[in-house]
Amino acid sequence: MTAQETKQIMQAAAERIGFALVYSDLRTGCFHIKQGTTVRMGFVWRNIKPADIAAQISSTSQHGDRLDTMRDSFYFTR
């Protein structure tokens, strides 16, 4: 699976649960998903299977680090 295909699958998985993929860096595996003003950060690993991407996005939507509450974050809203 190419990097472009991985990003497309990540974007589709995020949209299915009401989030938008706003950042992804597959060299480090880091990605950010956003819903309203809430932005969460998660990670994927190299050679992740498409079926596992959806589970990782879903997990991040509930348990990922909230970037919108961190003072030094680009997404800080408070």
Query: What are the structural domain ranges in the chain?
Result: 3-69
Give the separation between CA 64 and CA 57, rounded to whole angstroms: 9
- For position 74, what pLDDT does the model report? 86
Q: What is the pLDDT of residues 6-55, one digit of tens each?
A: 999 999 999 999 999 999 999 999 999 999 999 999 999 988 898 899 99
Residue with tokens 């997404």: 75
Query: What does the pLDDT read at residue 47?
Result: 85
User: pLDDT grade, residue 78 (50/70/90)?
Assistant: low
pLDDT at 76: 86
Beta bridge partners of 40: 33, 66
User: Is the CB of residue 73 less than 8 Å from the CB of residue 60?
Assistant: no
Q: Which residues have a Cβ under 8 Å from the Cβ of 12 and sit 6 or more positions away?
A: none
pLDDT at 75 over 70: yes
Report how far apart, in Å, the C-alpha atoms of 4 and of each of 10, 21, 40, 63 are.
Answer: 10, 13, 21, 25
